[in-house]
Amino acid sequence: MAKLAFLGLGVMGYPMAGHLQAAGHDVTVYNRTAAKAEAWVKEHGGSSAATPREAAAGAEFVMSCVGNDDDLRSVCTGESGAFAGMAAGSVFVDHTTVSAAVTRELCAAAASGEIAFVDAPISGGQAGAENGILSVMCGGDPDAFDRAEPIIGAYSRICRRIGDSGAGQMTKMCNQIAIAGLVQGLSEAMHFAEKAGLDGRAVIEVISQGAAGSWQMNNRYETMIDDHFEHGFAVDWMRKDLGICLDTADETGASLPVTALVDQFYKDVQKMGGGRWDTSSLLSRLRKAG
């Protein structure tokens, strides 16, 4: 078993760190709100630290799952950052969805201290984190990935290295691009069924068994029908991710017309007060429009 640190105890990080402790690892956690770290220790054991540097001291692997590019920089760099506490040969694994640019920036900063950096964004939502069945897409040095993969296995169903530094983040962008169009299509289908006077549950029961079926359909149609959007990944975070996708598309020359359109639809949901609603709330926008 390994000595680990986990930085960031949000809706994803809290259960992920718990799976590591349950697997027998020695886990030290850090969270910007110290009370959350104290609650985690009370529930799971392990220990907490006042700074990322203190949490990372002596750790073979340091995992992070924070909010955005700036949050990631803050826990990695500076006098109180994790890199300052990590020994040569240790591995930093970042599960945050951030830009590939900041990933490469921090990978280079870590390398100056002989620390390996693996970008490892996740998909599967809060339920996936709680049940330990996340999909993890990785970029970085092959040897560092091989060392980290068994650790990540405590909370993943699949963990795969896609390529060099930044490849994991690029793959997560593909994931979010696919989800954006899919959720809008599902929302339109359900809105159409409502307007046509059809039984939405019966419609989904039939079409989910054919080519239209998806994880989103199977797991969100009931709450969508009931106009209940308090599950899973929030609209505010989806817009952050889609912004990364669109900025990167500009840099690479990729054309993302549907993604750009759905991003604006999520902006409409935010204006409706739904920033903290889950991503399936695109249906609420259609209902409001009539």
Residues 6+ apart with CB under 8 A from 233: 125, 126, 278, 279
What residues are annotated to the active site?
Answer: 172
Whole-number Cα distances in Å, 165 to 67, 99, 138, 153, 222? 19, 11, 8, 20, 39
The CA angle 244-140-250, to the nearest 5 degrees, is 25
Whole-number Cα distances in Å, 90 to 5, 143, 147? 11, 12, 10
Residues 6+ apart with CB under 8 A from 150: none
Q: Quote the crossing angle between the two packed helices 235-252 and 257-271, to the nearest 10°.
A: 150
Residues 6+ apart with CB under 8 A from 21: 27, 44, 45, 46
